Amino acid sequence: MNSFSEKLNYYRKKKGYSQKELADLTHTSQPTINTYESGAANSETLSLSNAIGLAKALEVTLPDLFNIDSSVIGSTETELLSKNNHELKEKITKLENRILELEQRLVERNDYIKLLHSERLNLKRLLAEREIEAESKKVFEAEYEVENAKTDQDKQDADRWLKVGLMLYGKTIEELQKDNIYSDYDIFCLIYENDVHIDAILDSDENVETKLYKYFNQYLNITEEEVQEFKMRFENSYRSP
């Protein structure tokens, strides 16, 4: 019993099916089953779905029904699995490479954003330095005019300009405080470095610390101890290599 026709006939009768019953189970026709059992048509004319349907209906394996070497099927299945696994691995590798590429772009973008933020802070500090220097000069010049006015009218005019200058300078410092990027120490450093009054105070013969405190306290709500601490920090930062 080596031919497909003989095996089909054998397994059908073993299950107790008529050709019509087997045809109904496999969604074919009785004449089709008869054609295969009589040998008028060989197994090569069967579609894969019909072959699987017959084996399933008769509860046998494809190798048992069609004289196929089971090792060949196993080998084919292994090759198919290996091929599919290889394709999956390639897809995974491509996705991993894509992820790495996108992560690298994110790192580069974040680095660029940090660079822009740093440049923005540097420019804002430069602007603050120039504004403090310019506004403090106006106040300093107005103070000089008040002290050296020759007439009451000149003194009144100079005093009016002094008040305007103090108001504008105070607003400049107030805007720096609102910016949330400067601490009291940062603003202290900006004033200490750029305000023209500081040199005059440091050049005075006595009460330097008290004069500094009174001057800074016009613009910053800090104690005399904080002024001394900030001054020491600032001077130490310049001494550091």
pLDDT tens digits, residue range 136-169? Answer: 999 999 999 999 989 989 899 999 999 999 999 9
Q: How far apart are CA 190 and CA 1, in angstroms?
A: 104
Confidence band (pLDDT; 50, 70, 90) for 82?
A: low
Helix ranges (H only) for 148-223 are 152-178, 184-194, 196-202, 208-216
Mean pLDDT rounded to a whole number for the chain: 85
CATH architecture of 4-67: Orthogonal Bundle (1.10)
CB-based contact 23:30 (threshold 8 Å): yes
CB-based contact 224:209 (threshold 8 Å): yes
CB-based contact 169:111 (threshold 8 Å): no
Domain residue ranges in the chain: 4-67, 126-239
Model confidence at 77: pLDDT above 60: no
pLDDT above 70: percentage of residues in the chain: 90
Token pair listed for 101: 């590429």
Q: Which residues contact 210 (CB under 8 A, 6 or more apart)?
A: 224
Mean pLDDT of 175-204: 90
Query: So what's the pLDDT on residue 153?
Result: 92
Q: How far apart are CA 49 and CA 132, in angstroms?
A: 88
Radius of gyration (C-alpha) of the chain in whole angstroms: 48
CB-based contact 50:28 (threshold 8 Å): yes
Confidence band (pLDDT; 50, 70, 90) for 67?
A: low
Kindly report, residue by residue over 163-187, the tens digit of the pLDDT: 999 999 999 999 998 888 888 999 9
Query: So what's the pLDDT on residue 160?
Result: 93
